[in-house]
Amino acid sequence: MTEQKKKLEKLSGVKGMNDILPQDAALWEFFESTVKSMLRAYGYQQIRTPILEPTQLFTRGIGEVTDIVEKEMYSFTDALNGEHLTLRPENTAAVVRASIEHNLLYDGPKRLWYIGPMFRHERPQRGRYRQFYQVGVEALGFAGPDTDAEIIMMCQRLWDDLGLSGIRLELNSLGQPEERAAHRQELIAYLEQHVDTLDEESKRRLYTNPLRVLDTKNPAMQEIAQNAPKLVDFLGSESLAHFEGVQRLLKANNIPFKINPRLVRGLDYYNLTVFEWVTDKLGAQGTVAGGGRYDPLIEQLGGKATAACGWAMGVERILELLKEEDLVPAPEGTDIYVVHQGDAAAEQAFIIAERLRDTGLDVILHCSPDGTPASFKSQMKKADASGAAFAVVLGEDELAQGMVGVKPLRSASLESTGQKNEQATVPVEDLTEFLINAMVATADDSAD
């Protein structure tokens, strides 16, 4: 009987959820380290919450008639215990939940930040995925407009640190719930007058979330949205003073902005300041960050009424911008690549590689894919491709005399060690010191 080998079908990942491949690692690391140093500059502390939360957190926190809760959540019932769970679509509600649960605000306000994947069941397209990363900040317990201005300026500092330009700031105030209620009545009356021109989505939202009608991207409805009663005309003196306070600080710090009276944001929990950072360089998905004040949320989730504001930033969209603007950093190579020939040399190479790592050097030890030794020539090719500054070369004859070879690669040089800039032969016991000196000299050279 002949054994028939069945070719197994290739598996793919979930649609709209991306693998982040090694070739993009340098870009992600550049972004993450830049964002972390910006956050440190403003005294923010990291918080990490679970990816799964009880579904109720989002229905209560984000609001039943928002895009996210209506149609974008990955919600399911845990087959083992019947709990209703949701993969987090955003992280503000979870950070607030954790702050209440652990009483984080007992000794005063907190500045918190997070980074991690979020999940929304949307139609995948450029800049819109079903799993995507957000970096976000939540300033909990600060009521003044200085905090609104500060979190906005953090974004500007990040753009500057990343080298990005042309990201515009749009600003609006949603006032307080009572002011929104007064505006809502007039807005509904206005929209009722134009009900024939409303699209299906807007008709559906007319009585549930009329503010969102103003946010429509439908070209046929732009005029209606443009001429609708403006929320800003319903703001009382306190709300106006807050809004003006934010604007004053931004102006004093030379942060340009545009007031967009139709900016409402997709989530229910906002009040007063809302803002978005927008670019024209990413096509339709041009909003790279959004945020605002959400003073009602903490109480709404069962905590003591506490002022709060924050933003969330779409990491993939920013990385796309960095690529678009050719700001992708070169991947970092290793320091040393160790090549070797022969059994005795292989064992020595293993030991030497560990010694070098003990001193803090980054070392790749050559390993052949099939377990049989490759020629020095093919090993040296790998050494070149690794980005290492130096190759350490272990041959059996040299080793027998207690010596190893050191060969400079790429821009590295041995001149500072008094050697010619070609392969040097060094006693094994001097290797570490020799390499450290050569690495330091190379780093100094490239800094010049």
Q: By C-beta, is 67 or 186 nearer to ligand ATP? A: 67
**Tokens 């209506």, residue?**
70
CB atoms within 10 A of CB 338: 24
Site string for ligand ATP, 306-335 (x = CB under 6 A): ------x-x-xx------------------
205 sits near ligand ATP (criterion: CB under 6 A)? no
Q: Binding residue for ligand ATP (CB under 6 A) from 58, 113, 132, 434? A: 132
Compute the least distance from the CB of residue 157 to ligand ATP, in Å: 18
How distant is the alpha carbon of residue 120 from its chain centre? Answer: 16
97 annotated to bind ligand: no
Q: Which residues, in sequence order, are CB contacts of 394 under 8 Å at separation 6+?
A: 338, 339, 340, 341, 345, 348, 349, 352, 404, 405
Nearer of residues 120 and 366 to ligand ATP, judged by Cβ:
120
Known binding residue 205? Answer is no
Tokens of residue 272, six digits:
């007063």
* Among residues 36, 121, 128, 168, the one that binds ligand ATP under rule CB under 6 A: 128
- Answer yes or no whether residue 287 interacts with ligand ATP by CB under 6 A: yes
H or E segment to which residue 46 belongs: strand 45-46
Does 357 help bind ligand ATP (rule: CB under 6 A)? Answer: no
Site for ligand ATP contains 288 (CB under 6 A)? yes
Assess 119 for contact with ligand ATP (CB under 6 A).
no
How many angstroms separate the CA atoms of 33 and 35, rounded? 5
Closest to ligand ATP by CB, 15 or 420: 15
357 marked as binding residue: no
Q: Does 399 bind ligand ATP (CB under 6 A)?
A: no
Selected from 266, 342, 387, 395, the binder of ligand ATP by CB under 6 A is: 266
285 near ligand ATP, rule: CB under 6 A = yes
Choice between 145 and 290, CB closer to ligand ATP: 290
SS3 134: strand
Give strand ranges (E) for 157-297: 168-173, 258-259, 271-278, 287-293
The pairing of strands 131-140 and 168-173 is unpaired
From 32, 70, 122, 161, residue interacting with ligand ATP (rule: CB under 6 A): 122
What backbone torsions phi and psi does residue 369 show, to the nearest 5 degrees?
Answer: -60, -35
> Measured between alpha carbons, how far is 217 from 219 in angstroms, rounded to an integer?
6
The answer to whether 129 contacts ligand ATP (rule: CB under 6 A) is yes
- Rounded Cα distance, 239 and 175, in Å: 6
User: Least distance (Å) from ligand ATP to the CB of residue 389?
Assistant: 38
34 marked ligand binding residue:
no
User: Which residues lie below 8 Å from residue 370, measured CB to CB, with a gap of 6+?
Assistant: none
90 binds ligand ATP (CB under 6 A): yes
Q: Which residues pair with 85 in a beta bridge?
A: 54, 76
Question: Measured from the CB of residue 123, what is the shortest distance to ligand ATP in angstroms?
Answer: 9
List the one residue out of 448, 421, 427, 447 whose CA is nearest residue 438. 421
Contact 297, 92 (CB under 8 A): yes
Angstrom distance (rounded) from CA 372 to CA 347:
14
Any contact of residue 44 with ligand ATP (CB under 6 A)? no
CB of 127 closer than 8 Å to CB of 282: yes
Does 61 engage in binding with ligand ATP (CB under 6 A)? no
Q: Which is nearer to ligand ATP, 289 or 353 (CB)?
A: 289
Task: Give how far the C-alpha of residue 69 lies from the chain's centroid of Cα atoms, to the nearest Å.
Answer: 23
Q: Is 270 within any annotated ligand binding site? A: yes
Binding residue for ligand ATP (CB under 6 A) from 60, 120, 212, 366?
120
Q: Among residues 141, 147, 31, which one has the least CA distance to residue 95?
A: 141
Structure tokens at 403: 């010596």
End-to-end CA, the chain: 72
User: From the list 99, 134, 273, 442, which residue makes contact with ligand ATP (rule: CB under 6 A)?
Assistant: 134
In the complex with ligand ATP, the residue whose CB is nearer, 265 or 366, is 265
Query: In whole angstroms, how close is the CB of 54 to ligand ATP at the nearest point?
Result: 20
**Residue whose beta carbon is closest to ligand ATP:** 314
> What residue numbers does the annotated binding site cover?
90-92, 120, 134, 138, 265, 269-270
> What residue numbers does the annotated binding site for L-histidine cover?
90-92, 120, 134, 138, 265, 269-270
- Given the rule CB under 6 A, which residues bind ligand ATP? 90, 120, 122, 127-129, 132, 134, 266, 285, 287-290, 312, 314, 316-317
